[in-house]
A and B are shown apart, each in its own frame.
Chain A
Amino acid sequence: MDLFANQKIRVKEDVYTYIHRSLPSKGEIFVQIGQEVNPEEILGSCQILAGYRKINLAVSLGISPKDVGKYLKKSLTQRIYKDELLAFKPGGLFSGKRIITSPTDGVLDSLDLKTGELRLKFLPHQINVPAGCFGIVDFIDSERLEIGIRTQVTQIFVPLGSGKARSGIIKIISRNNLMDISSISLALADHIIVAGSLIYKDALQAAVSVGVSGIIVGGINAKDYKGMSGGRITLPPKMGSDIGISVLISEGFGSLPIGADIFDVLKKFDGRFAILDGNSNVLNLPSCESDCINKIRKVALGQHVMGTRRPMEDVEAAILKVGQKLRIIAHPFMGEQGHLQSIDNSPTRLDSGISTYMLNIATDFKKIRVPYTNVEII
Chain B
Amino acid sequence: MTKLVGFFESFDNLDLIPVEDIAQKLKIRSQLIELENFVANRILYPQAIPTTSIDMETDMVILDMALKINKGKKLSKDFITRFPGLKG
Using CB atoms and an 8 Å cutoff, list the residues of chain A in contact with chain B.
4-6, 159-160, 221-223, 225-226, 232-235, 252-254, 313, 315-317, 329-332, 334, 350-354, 356, 371, 373-374
A352 touches B41 (CB 8 A): no
> Shortest beta-carbon distance, A363 to chain B, in Å?
17
> Shortest beta-carbon distance, A136 to chain B, in Å?
33
Q: Contacts A233-B43, A329-B45: A317 and B4 contacting too (C-beta < 8 A)?
A: yes
Residue numbers in A under 8 Å from B12 (CB-CB): 234
Residue numbers in A under 8 Å from B14 (CB-CB): 233
**Complex: chain A residue closest to B47, CB-CB:** A373
Q: How long is the Cα–Cα vector from A351 to B15 in the complex, in angstroms?
A: 27
We find that the number of chain B residues with CB closer than 8 angstroms to chain A is 29
Residue numbers in B under 8 Å from A225 (CB-CB): 40
Using CB atoms and an 8 Å cutoff, list the residues of chain B in contact with chain A.
1-4, 6, 12, 14-16, 33-34, 36-41, 43-45, 47-53, 55-56
Q: Is the interface of B mostly helix, strand, loop or mixed?
A: helix
What 4 A-B pairs have minimum CB-CB distances, sorted nearest first?
A222-B40, A330-B48, A352-B56, A253-B40
B53 touches A353 (CB 8 A): yes
**Complex: chain A residue closest to B16, CB-CB:** A232
> Shortest beta-carbon distance, B39 to chain A, in Å?
7
A354 touches B3 (CB 8 A): no
A316 touches B33 (CB 8 A): no
A235 touches B44 (CB 8 A): yes
> Shortest beta-carbon distance, B88 to chain A, in Å?
22
> Shortest beta-carbon distance, A123 to chain B, in Å?
43
Q: How long is the Cα–Cα vector from A350 to B49 in the complex, in angstroms?
A: 10
Which of B4, B33, B55 is A352 in contact with, Cβ under 8 Å?
B55
Residue numbers in A under 8 Å from B37 (CB-CB): 221-222, 253-254
Question: Given A222-B40, A316-B1, 4 other A-B contacts at CB below 8 A?
Answer: A6-B3, A253-B41, A253-B44, A330-B48
A252 touches B45 (CB 8 A): yes
> Shortest beta-carbon distance, B78 to chain A, in Å?
14
Residue numbers in B under 8 Å from A371 (CB-CB): 49, 51
Q: Contacts A233-B15, A254-B37, A373-B47: A352 and B53 contacting too (C-beta < 8 A)?
A: yes
**Complex: chain B residue closest to A232, CB-CB:** B15
Q: Contacts A159-B44, A221-B33, A233-B15: A356 and B49 contacting too (C-beta < 8 A)?
A: yes
Residue numbers in B under 8 Å from A352 (CB-CB): 49-53, 55-56
B1 touches A315 (CB 8 A): yes
> Shortest beta-carbon distance, B51 to chain A, in Å?
5
Residue numbers in A under 8 Å from B39 (CB-CB): 222
A351 touches B4 (CB 8 A): no
B44 touches A5 (CB 8 A): no
Q: How long is the Cα–Cα vector from A221 to B53 in the complex, in angstroms?
A: 24
B2 touches A317 (CB 8 A): yes
A351 touches B51 (CB 8 A): yes
Q: How long is the Cα–Cα vector from A371 to B4 in the complex, in angstroms?
A: 13
Q: How long is the Cα–Cα vector from A313 to B1 in the complex, in angstroms?
A: 9
B33 touches A223 (CB 8 A): yes
> Shortest beta-carbon distance, B58 to chain A, in Å?
10
B43 touches A235 (CB 8 A): yes
Residue pairs across A and B with Cβ atoms less than 8 A apart, 16 shown, are A159-B44, A222-B15, A223-B36, A233-B15, A234-B12, A235-B43, A252-B41, A253-B37, A315-B1, A330-B48, A350-B52, A351-B51, A352-B52, A354-B51, A371-B49, A371-B51
